[in-house]
Chain A
Amino acid sequence: MPILGIIASSRLTAAPTSYESISTVTVGSGGAANIEFTSIPATYSHLQIRGIVKSNDTADDRQPVKAIFNSDTGNNFSRHLLFGNGSSATYDDGTSTTSRLGASVISNFGSYANMFTAYIIDILDYADTNKYTTVKVLGGFNTNDATASNFSQIALGSFAWLNTAAITSIQLQPFNNNFVQYSQFALYGIKGS
């Protein structure tokens, strides 16, 4: 098997200026009820949130991350979701709901030490006050558990926040209980023209 022998440090190029790290929150040993980004500048075209999370919920009721924009806790989201759980593909939709960002969060139900749900959340045109804000989510987890089909999931989601305000704060929270230690979300800004 030929090894192409790519040495990472020898090929670094100048960082592009269009993708910037804005803020990162990593949950400490005490856990956290939510992860929140505030005072988000309007100087980018799009936002991306990347991370891994897990909740300390001990019930068998895995739920997705809930997102709250600008402290709006109303039922002002619409959504379409597509799921795969290892045995079938399913879908979900809803109007006038709170935001449920697709993939479920691994909890402390079961023996899933060190396993986290990964998320990539794209928030398009978040500072445009002429239209509702749309969100695209890719998320998933796998537990190597062969006993039940609901112990792994890959999810695609599309959402609309039915509000024309520019997003200045984002709170992400598990539907039940708290995020556990090492859960992390990082917020990035992507510049346009």
Chain B
Amino acid sequence: MTATYEKIATTTLGSSQASIDFTSISGSYTDLVIIGSIKTATLTNPACYVRFNNDTGSNYSVTSLYGNGSSAGSTKFNSQTFIRYNYVTDPNTTNFAPVIMNINNYSNATTYKTALTKFGLASIGLDYTVGLWRSTSAINRVTFTLESATNFASGCIFTIYGIKAE
């Protein structure tokens, strides 16, 4: 048995930033897990966008299952230029929205990449999503941004982990 689930990198924002960008991600793992705490600097409840390998083409799609305290539902967005996540946070609160993103088999060069993500904030809502990136390229970069070019607030923390199957 081999110990795995290694921390690759962590970033903590000391001031507001437009993006959180993990670059030069090693291809030596099987899965990636990204755990973060998100808060927006200025705009109430913007969506969060994720891109892989800085691909700005319409190669992303996402299906979500959500609950907001009064109803449950499901939405999907096809042929997007990013994977979209809802329920980020309200800048007027001290609550940060937790996010856990799992990217299974991110490093192979034979399949499109699928991300399973849990996103939400207790005071706003919960969002489970499956996102697809229609590329067989190994993922070497993951970039988070916010809707309407909103900044991430100071104090946001993101950590990326690698899991190696043997």
Contacts and interface: CB of A to CB of B under 8 A. Distances in A.
Q: Do A and B come from one complex?
A: yes
Interface of A: 1-9, 11-13, 15-22, 24, 50-52, 82-89, 114-120, 138-146, 149, 152-156, 182, 184, 186, 188-189
In this complex, the interface size class of chain B, counting residues with CB under 8 Å from chain A, is 35 or more
Nearest to B58: A144
B42 interface: no
Contacts, number: 207
Contacts of B4: 15, 19-21, 188
B1 A21 contact: yes
Interface in B114-166: 114-116, 118, 128-132, 134, 136, 145, 160, 162-166
A9 B26 contact: yes
Nearest to B166: A21
A18 B2 CA distance: 10
Interface of B: 1-11, 17-26, 30-31, 61-67, 72-76, 78-79, 102, 104-105, 108, 110-112, 114-116, 118, 128-132, 134, 136, 145, 160, 162-166
15 contacts: A4-B20, A6-B160, A21-B165, A87-B76, A88-B74, A114-B110, A117-B114, A118-B104, A118-B116, A120-B102, A140-B116, A142-B130, A144-B61, A154-B74, A154-B128
